């Protein structure tokens, strides 16, 4: 009897073993295919390093920077957190604009831990006017991650820096080299421009190919004794000498290596990217007043001006007539019936890819109560706006109204 059972069970065992073998083979095949695909992609992205005298350029940049560097508040202390904050603020923002914001921000949030423990509205209020508010939200979230994962200290490790929310290749390279003197490049628009000219690179300024080549060149440059100084030297050269429209080539410490200078083609590089068309949009805002207070509502967590406070209103994707039908309907959906003045005040504000045509309607009378969740609206006095997380255009509107009072 036992012999028969044993004989009958053998085919099933073989079938099970066969199935497992097939699955293992399939996994191995997929893994091999994935490796092959990754290798092919890597080969297609392989960078041919331009033939330049990197040792000579490194020495010339270091010498120039030691004499020509600007005195900037984030350079006065070698603090990874200060480097992080300054680099995030400096993205798409001029140095002169950033300095007062940096000083106030560091006074309010002097450590990563204090930033992590702060309320997001407080962080956005300190950021208000710098624009690109997603930077502030990511900085706040990143600080919380640093506290949770690294005990409140930024890691002296490039790979770990890249794992923190809001820190990309540029910022990770800047922190690693400037704060920790690790040989990692930080390649921004200034650096793209410098190396596009030096090597006469024909790829457009927004192309991955140009980014890879410039990063490869910068990686060679920062292999010196002071990677942080060399990183800042490249940034400084682009900001002060190798400028977009009027480069001071005769003052450039590496001009003897520059092919664009040698051939009189400096302004032809970098090859421009395709411009993004600026879209017009209409914004209708209602200034509702009650007992010397105005109503503000909070923007959604995603999209334009995410999480900031502003006057209630509508964003329309195209220019429209000055009428209040849609705006009145919107206010009714908020639980309010408002009598609005027929003639609005007009404002215009241009973002990187949008041109906002703003019609501001002031109220003559209001009835009803706001039906929104309590944490998404507030009644504030107009002169309290400097302490609120609001956009620069909202701040401009409030400032102009206060001047008229």
H/E stretch holding 298? strand 293-298
Residue of 8, 48, 87, 160 marked catalytic: 87
The answer to whether residues 384 and 307 touch, using CB atoms and an 8 Å cutoff, is no
Spatial distance between the Cα atoms of 279 and 54, rounded to a whole number of angstroms: 44
Residues 6+ apart with CB under 8 A from 71: none
Spatial distance between the Cα atoms of 126 and 388, rounded to a whole number of angstroms: 8
CA angle 328–333–335, rounded 5-degree value: 95
Residues 6+ apart with CB under 8 A from 245: 267
Query: Cα–Cα distances in Å, from 198 out to 5, 188, 236, 262, 315?
Result: 81, 16, 16, 9, 45
Residues 6+ apart with CB under 8 A from 199: 50, 52, 213, 217, 259
Spatial distance between the Cα atoms of 363 and 379, rounded to a whole number of angstroms: 14
Q: Residue with structure tokens 């930077």?
A: 135
Q: Residue with structure tokens 């942080």?
A: 228
**CA contacts within 13 A on the Cβ side of 175:** 28
Spatial distance between the Cα atoms of 108 and 114, rounded to a whole number of angstroms: 8
148 noted as active-site residue: no
DSSP state of 178: I
- Active site amino acids: 87
């Amino acid at each position: 009897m036992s012999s028969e059972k044993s004989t009958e069970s053998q085919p099933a065992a073989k079938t099970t073993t066969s199935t497992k073998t097939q699955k293992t083979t399939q996994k191995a095949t997929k893994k091999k295919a994935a490796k092959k695909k990754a290798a092919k992609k890597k080969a297609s992205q392989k960078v041919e390093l331009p033939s330049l005298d990197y040792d000579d350029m490194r020495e010339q940049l270091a010498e120039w920077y030691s004499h020509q560097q600007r005195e900037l508040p984030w350079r006065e202390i070698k603090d990874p957190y200060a480097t992080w904050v300054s680099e995030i603020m400096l993205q798409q923002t001029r140095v002169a604009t950033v300095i007062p914001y940096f000083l106030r921000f560091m006074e309010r949030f002097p450590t990563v831990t204090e930033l992590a423990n702060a309320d997001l509205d407080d962080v956005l209020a300190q950021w208000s006017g710098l624009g690109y508010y997603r930077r502030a939200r990511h900085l706040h979230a990143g600080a919380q991650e640093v506290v949770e994962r690294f005990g409140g200290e930024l890691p002296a490790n490039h790979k770990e820096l890249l794992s923190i929310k809001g820190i990309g290749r540029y910022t990770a390279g800047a922190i690693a080299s400037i704060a920790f003197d690790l040989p990692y490049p930080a390649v921004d628009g200034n650096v793209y421009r410098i190396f596009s000219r030096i090597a006469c690179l024909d790829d457009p300024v927004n192309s991955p190919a140009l980014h890879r080549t410039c990063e490869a060149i910068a990686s060679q440059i920062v292999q010196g004794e002071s990677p942080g100084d060399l990183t800042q030297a490249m940034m400084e050269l682009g900001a002060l000498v190798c400028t977009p429209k009027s480069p001071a080539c005769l003052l450039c410490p590496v001009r003897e290596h520059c092919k664009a200078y040698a051939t009189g083609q400096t302004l032809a590089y970098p090859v421009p990217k395709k411009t993004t068309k600026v879209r017009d949009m209409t914004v209708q805002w209602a200034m509702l007043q009650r007992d010397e207070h105005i109503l503000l509502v909070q923007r959604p967590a995603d999209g334009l001006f995410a999480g900031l406070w502003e006057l209630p209103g509508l964003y329309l994707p195209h220019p429209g007539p000055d009428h209040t039908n849609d705006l009145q309907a919107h206010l009714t959906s908020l639980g309010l019936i408002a009598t609005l003045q027929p003639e609005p005040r007009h404002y215009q504000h241009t973002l990187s890819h949008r041109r906002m045509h703003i019609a501001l309607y002031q109220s003559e009378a209001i009835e009803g109560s706001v039906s929104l969740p309590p944490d998404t609206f507030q009644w504030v006095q107009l002169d309290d706006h400097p302490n609120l997380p609001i956009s620069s255009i909202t701040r401009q509107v409030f400032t102009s109204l206060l001047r008229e009072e």
